[in-house]
Amino acid sequence: MIIFIIVLIDNKGQAFFFQNRAGKDGKVFRIIKIKTMNDKKDKQGNLLSYKERVTSLGKFLRKYSLDEIPQLYNVIQGDMSLVGPRPLHTKYLSEYDKEQARRQNVKGGITGWAQINGRNTISWEQKFKYDVWYVDNLSFLLDLKILWSTFIKVVKKEDINNTKDLSMPPFKGVKRR
């Protein structure tokens, strides 16, 4: 509740961020996160870069993954699981190759195998390999290991960012030959 109130004040009354994401079998749902960026735009009306829009509070919330807490609602609704491949933006669905698309065979999760093995410091290709590996090796014990490892990663603040810009570059799809 404390985080919610602070974010509400910091973001001028907007505490949550909603976005369509692809879940199991590509089913679209609205993910909920704590809003960590403002909506500032340039003179042409385009959103400024991530680096220019993320708030100081937002950086803190992302560092400790506190912006993910509202996704527990998505878990309760049945759209997500605690553990599974991170649900990605729907625009990426048409960009997956056949192997990468297998990540959609299970519910997306708040955390997953890719998150504990590099999170945003690894390439998209490696993320998808980890996601498919998870689908092929799904088990209760693996989920427990991922949950415990996630807790350790968050406490240690490991593997949070890929670049100085603090965000993962957009997925450009499979290189077609």
pTM above 0.85, yes or no: no
Residues 34-60, mean pLDDT to the nearest whole number: 88
Query: How many angstroms separate the CA atoms of 110 and 82, rounded?
Result: 5
Check residue 70 and report its DSSP letter: T
3-state SS assignment for residue 89:
strand
Query: How many angstroms separate the CA atoms of 57 and 54, rounded?
Result: 8
Query: How many angstroms separate the CA atoms of 77 and 74, rounded?
Result: 5
Triad 45, 48, 54: Cα angle to 5°: 140
Task: Quick: pLDDT tens for 109-167.
Answer: 999 999 999 988 899 999 999 999 999 999 999 999 999 999 998 888 776 654 444 45
